Amino acid sequence: MKVSALALLAAVVGGQSAVSAFTVANHGAGVSQTAFAPRVLAPADESSTALAGRRRSKKGRTFGLGKANLNKSDSSSTRAKDISPEEVRALFSLWNNALATKDSRIVAKRYAKESILLPTVSDTPRTDYASIKDYFDSFLLKEPQGKILEGDIRIGNGWAQDAGIYEFTMGATGDVVKARYTYTYVYEDNQWKIAHHHSSVMPEGIDIAAPITEEEVKNLFHLWNDALDTLDSDAVAKRYAKSGVLLPTVSDVPRTDYDSIKDYFDAFLLK
């Protein structure tokens, strides 16, 4: 038996290919055969946090739990620690406990240095410590305490996200508000902080004007007339919309805001 020179050269040149073979010459039968089977190189793991199995739940339990690799650079001085779905959910509790202190400084410190808050009861995005604190200066007067009703947790390389539906009870008034939420967390200064927080009232809970009947329109006059009977110009002026216009009977001056409408009825009610 001897090894073909041509086969040896092919094996050397194709050493990184999936198949390596030698031709073995059989002097008696002139038969050639493969001496080595194909070899497949397994790809290296891209992340120690590979995609986890999905789970579903409701009433405060997580569903859709998973981990994804975003190939985020590890150039930061503090590398993010692995975090479990239970630990992600516990980050909400830290934030909620900060609300309970009624100290807007403590709440604002739960947010990352570069973060954005799209709050429930403000049209203004908050993008730094001062503006986030300013929002909670007012919001905390309602004494809010929240609980997650259902949520979806995702975990990636250096980030985590919790999104779903939560509910707040306002201790100052007893009001209960249900809203949609998203928290995106990043690892900063050796702890997980909020980089993105979006909260919005459930759209199906927003009041939309219902059709009004002819009888109800007539009754609106009676409400206005009853306000006249009080002889209180403030009560009458409050029957007008914020952008309402009054073209009064005994004045040539149009009244276009609360103060001017009240001023008119200060004199008119004396009659």
pLDDT one-digit tens code per residue, 185-223: 999 999 999 999 999 988 876 666 668 888 989 999 999
pLDDT score, position 71: 40
pLDDT tens string 143-169? 999 999 999 999 999 999 999 999 999
Average pLDDT for 13-27: 38
What integer best gives the mean pLDDT of the chain? 78
**Stronger pLDDT, 58 or 93, i.e. the higher one:** 93
pLDDT score, position 39: 34
Q: Which residues contact 133 (CB under 8 A, 6 or more apart)?
A: 104, 105, 107, 108
Share of the chain above pLDDT 70, in %: 69
pLDDT band at 78 (very low <50, low <70, confident <90, very high): low
Q: Which residues contact 250 (CB under 8 A, 6 or more apart)?
A: 268
Q: Which letter does DSSP use for residue 205 in this model?
A: G
pLDDT band at 256 (very low <50, low <70, confident <90, very high): very high
d(CA 233, CA 30): 117
pLDDT score, position 204: 77
pLDDT tens string 124-140? 999 999 999 999 999 99
Share of the chain above pLDDT 90, in %: 62
Q: Cβ-count burial of 268 within 10 angstroms (0-12 exposed, 13-18 middle, 19+ buried)?
A: middle
Query: Number of H helices and number of E strands within the chain?
Result: 7, 6
Q: Which residues contact 43 (CB under 8 A, 6 or more apart)?
A: none
Note the pTM of the prediction, 2 decimals.
0.52
pLDDT band at 23 (very low <50, low <70, confident <90, very high): very low
Q: Is the dihedral of CA 257, 258, 262, 263 positive or negative?
A: negative
d(CA 194, CA 96): 13
d(CA 87, CA 145): 20
Q: Is the dihedral of CA 60, 94, 144, 120 positive or negative?
A: negative
